[in-house]
Amino acid sequence: MIRRLSQYTLALTLVLALPALAYANGLPVFTELAAKAGKSVVFISTETTTKSNPHVQQFRQQIPQGQRFRDFFEHFDQFFGQQQRQPRKQRAQGSGFVITPDGQIVTNNHVIDGADKVTVRFQDDNTEYVARVIASDRETDLAVIKIDIDRQLPVLKMGDSEAIQVGEWVLAIGNPYGLDNTVTAGIISAKHRIIGAGPFDNFLQTDASINPGNSGGPLLNMQGEVIGINTAINAAAENIGFAIPSTQAEKIINQLREGKTVKRGWLGVTIQSVGENQAKALGLAEPTGALIASVAEDQPADKAGVLQGDVVLEVNGVKTTDNNELLRQIASLKPGDKAKLTLWRNGKQIAKTVTLGERGEKTMAAMRPQHPDQEALVLGMSLKTITEKEANALGLERPQGLLVIQVDETSPAADEGIRQGDVIIQANQQDVTSTAGLKSVIERDKKRGAVMLLIKRQGQNIFVALPLETK
pLDDT digits (tens, 9 = 90+) for 288-323: 999 998 888 889 999 999 998 899 999 999 999 999
Shared-domain flag, residues 461 and 390: yes
Chain length of the chain: 471
Residue 67, CA atoms < 13 Å, CB-side half-sphere: 0
73 in any annotated domain: no
Query: Residue 338 sits in a domain of what CATH number?
Result: 2.30.42.10
Q: List 423's β-bridge partners, or say none.
A: 403, 456
Cα 324 from Cα 332, distance rounded (Å): 12
Q: Among residues 40, 45, 95, 110, which one is catalytic?
A: 110
Bridge partners of 338, per DSSP, are 355
Residues 255 and 288 in one domain: no
The reported pLDDT for the residue numbered 198 is 76
* CATH number of the domain that residue 163 is part of: 2.40.10.120
Position 200 scores a pLDDT of 84
Helix, strand, coil tally for the chain in percent (to 5): 20, 35, 40
Q: Is residue 400 part of a domain?
A: yes
Radius of gyration of the chain (CA): 27
204 to 65, 170, 194, 219, 367: CA distances (angstroms): 47, 11, 10, 10, 30
- Shared-domain flag, residues 108 and 233: yes
Annotated binding residues for substrate, written as ranges, equal: 47, 110, 141, 213-215, 231-235
Same domain, 348 and 450: no
Number of domains in the chain: 3
Contact of 187 with 168, CB cutoff 8 Å: yes
Q: Are 92 and 111 in contact (CB under 8 A)?
A: yes
209 and 93 assigned to the same domain: yes
The question of whether 137 is a catalytic residue gets the answer no
189 is known as an active-site residue:
no
The stretches of 207-343 forming alpha helices (DSSP H) are 246-257, 276-282, 300-304, 323-331
Looking at the structure, do residues 427 and 296 belong to the same domain, yes or no?
Answer: no
Write down the pLDDT at residue 15.
41
Torsion angles phi and psi, residue 100, rounded to 5? -135, 145
Sign of CA dihedral 47, 153, 226, 14: negative
Q: Write down the pTM of the prediction.
A: 0.67
Using alpha carbons, select from 244, 95, 246, 228 the residue that is nearest to residue 174: 95
Residue tagged active-site, from 215, 246, 373, 445: 215
Res 377: pLDDT: 80
Is the domain of 242 the same as that of 322? no
In angstroms, the CA 358 to CA 265 distance is: 5
Q: How far apart are CA 3 and CA 113, in angstroms?
A: 16
Residue 282: φ, ψ to 5°: -90, -10
Residue 189 lies in a domain: yes
Cβ atoms of residues 455 and 427 within 8 Å: no
Distance CA 102, CA 390 (A): 66
The string of DSSP letters for 219-240 reads: EE-TTS-EEEEEEEEETTSSS-
Q: Which domain holds residue 230?
A: 1-51+87-262
Active site residue 141: yes
Q: Determine if residue 85 is left, alpha or beta; phi over 0 gives left, psi from -120 to 50 gives alpha, anything else beta.
A: alpha
Q: Is 80 within a domain?
A: no
Catalytic residue among 137, 141, 180, 207: 141
Instruction: Point out the residues of the chain with pLDDT beneath 70.
Output: 1-26, 50-87, 361-376, 389-390, 392-395, 470-471
pLDDT at residue 433 in the model: 84
Query: What is residue 419's three-state secondary structure?
Result: coil
d(CA 159, CA 157): 6
Give the span between the Cα atoms of 119 and 132, in whole angstroms. 9
Residues 318, 406 within the same domain = no
Domain boundary (238, 262, 286) is at: 262
**Spatial separation of the C-alpha atoms in residues 361 and 468, rounded to whole Å:** 41
Query: Do residues 145 and 241 both lie within one domain?
Result: yes
Q: Which residues contact 112 (CB under 8 A, 6 or more apart)?
A: 44, 46, 94, 118, 133, 136, 143, 145
Same domain, 419 and 279: no
Q: Which residues are annotated as a binding site?
A: 47, 110, 141, 213-215, 231-235
